[in-house]
Structure 1
């Protein structure tokens, strides 16, 4: 490689540039009498600039000087190093538009509107009247305050008052007008006044609103629909009323000489039942209201018993009677604690106002504990239980036991029936009596013991018998469940087969992948009663842990996992490393590919093999440029893939020199600097005072430094 020389000639001229200027006040709006600073953010050096307030100049600065405008107000300060403006003890006159203009080195403008406001003060409120009658009167609450600007709102307790059918906010919210006051308008009311910089509230005001009487209620010391004779009944009357209402009492429409909210009835009798009325009056609203309560008083029941008519026999009519001492309103029969109804049960009927319970044909369903319950308005009483038991059976004979069993095990069968007295039991298998008694335990079972086992129940009193059977199937359990691949290699995009083998009476096989059941789809099929899993073609999504679950009626067993990892690749072979290097140095290239198992890598320069492995490091000489190729290969899939890059040699740069020749740098004349270097020079960048700059005619103009 040879040597190259690059020469550059330029003149410096400054051209206007662009940048953003932002004005940020320390607060806005601003309270009268406080200070505010307007800061300038994100700006460079402003050589010549102006601060304006509206159309008037506050400050102008330039190299070597600062001029104040004629409209500058007292308390306004300018910081020439940061360009920020500070206003002290502001007044309303300080509100307006503040503008910063940059003239040199760039021309730009930023502005902000400053809003000076007076705080809220002198807050007062008053009410037109405080003593009011509900629904009759209206009231106006008025609020006043000083400050700019002002917003008014009213509060009733913790709630904000909003306009509605009865409520109006007048005069910009200063007045709250309520038409037809209610008891919920008593307050406390307060007025909240605020602007952008402060807020204040008035003292609370309360209204005295008379209302009622309403919602009169008579309550008893113990509320009952009916009272038992001899009870003491204490009546109390209450009403919603302000001030408190005065009360008097009436009985069956006749006024009593009883005044006050309470009326006590002691040692009551049935002739004291009737309507009791409480009348209330409000002394301010002059309104009346009344409420009536019905009081019922009766005598209690003293005794209830159940008597049978003979003995209960299956199929023979049978009666029970209920005997009651005392006044009776109703009689109800119960069986096992639940009420009986002859409308829904056609095997029973009731006579003589429900005092007799009759069974037409007693049977097993009629067994139980029977009671009768008698009641009137003030009392109820239930008899002792009568235990009704009907002789019957055997009915509902049931043989129970397992339906499946394992070869070599023993099983237990049980037999039961509903019978009075208790039945006797016998067991039969293949027509032979094998056991007497309700429980039968077999000898160790073989497959020949599969079949039907029958129990016979016999009642020696009724002379009846009945049978029931259990069918038993004996199985060989599942064992030795395994998954094999028959020495196949799982290669991407090829078919693959797994086989499930097991010993025993296998009834069903279920395949699983990663412990989740597998179902057939367009790539997965099952054959040979699902013992063979066929995948075609294999994809990377088929990777996972495969198992098969073999099931029989008596047990199931899952194989150990078969770890399927699909062989694939190499894919996406890539080579990385520098594209340019210097003679005398070394270079390292890396190669990678998606592959399982990991690929084998071979390196070539043009067509010459250089080495093997995922990385290649080479010392650079004159013949080191050219095409570098990495070949990735997979020995199981039999596939390979290449990636290449072009590498170029360069001579390093040295001996970089700047000279001006024999020129003298004279003001307002052109001047030339020359940069020379040895090596493969691709680009030259100039610096001034250690900082890079862009070479344009404008940026080097002498005029650029003028203020």
Structure 2
């Protein structure tokens, strides 16, 4: 019956010349939180003789204002009131079932004006939470899906990372289901440090979740190895060590290698004491560390550090040649320089105090531990050959050796009848002729045969 009456009022309003452009109620929907009060105001003044009727969904009467009196139906008594002055409707402690269309009809002396507005009762926003499908993430490997849950109605969601909005780029960051879900593909270490916050909102209020972050494991990377001192030779029993570092979460563990062989040691520092105890360092070799992340299962090696361990004592050398008697024109000499104690990293040969270089007459071994003099000459007699042996730890040590070259001379045949004095005179003459060389004489059958001269 009320619906028929409202329809008749609409018809009367048309006949009475009501303009459709004249606004009576605000634009809807009008939102109100569950349990709150709502007042619907009229946008046009009413006359003192106007009759104002409010209905719910066009069929349920709420109340009527007549000149000097207000009537509220039993269903709305205690919950609704109509202002007798301006005709506004107030609903108290709104319930969910109060959502819907509200109609008003203003009946004047010459006009009848109907109007309608929609009311939405919103459940308050509460219990906003972020949940992750993974308890932890591995950088570049994991795809993380965050879900924002909340109580409330007519909700929208926004995501922020450290107060900055997280946009959906449809590549790494994807927003799904009206922003309830945030998907991060190929997660990186800073993506979830946050704090990540989800904010749920309706047209009247908003509420944010607790700050959220998710541990993302990464590394190792930037693996570096550092020696406590520079140089390719390290004094034995010194406080030398190698230190390995890496960027990694969790902290990396380290293994150590000498060339391709693993050293039984762990930790970021490898001391020289351990190196020597494990039997390494006697020869030049490469040392490196390998960092491992137990979460990511990644292993990354460092660069190599090359060095050898030196015995920290002064070099003591022996310098000798293999031939006991050196004959000019027939003999060659092999001089060897060896360390009795200490390590030698460099050898320099000198002849009579001047640097000696290899040539067609003098040849050097590949490591310069020995020199070979091919076919000695009488000019080689008396030369001093010096070996300077050194290392970076104890400096250098020198040792010299004079070279004695024997010259064979040939004398003319001497009659057996020559006196001893005559023979002595000839020998003195030979010594003068060959200078400081040594003359060897051999007697055979009463004659003095001598080999061919040089």
Normalising by structure 2, we get a TM-score of 0.48
Bigger strand share: 1
Normalising by structure 1, we get a TM-score of 0.33
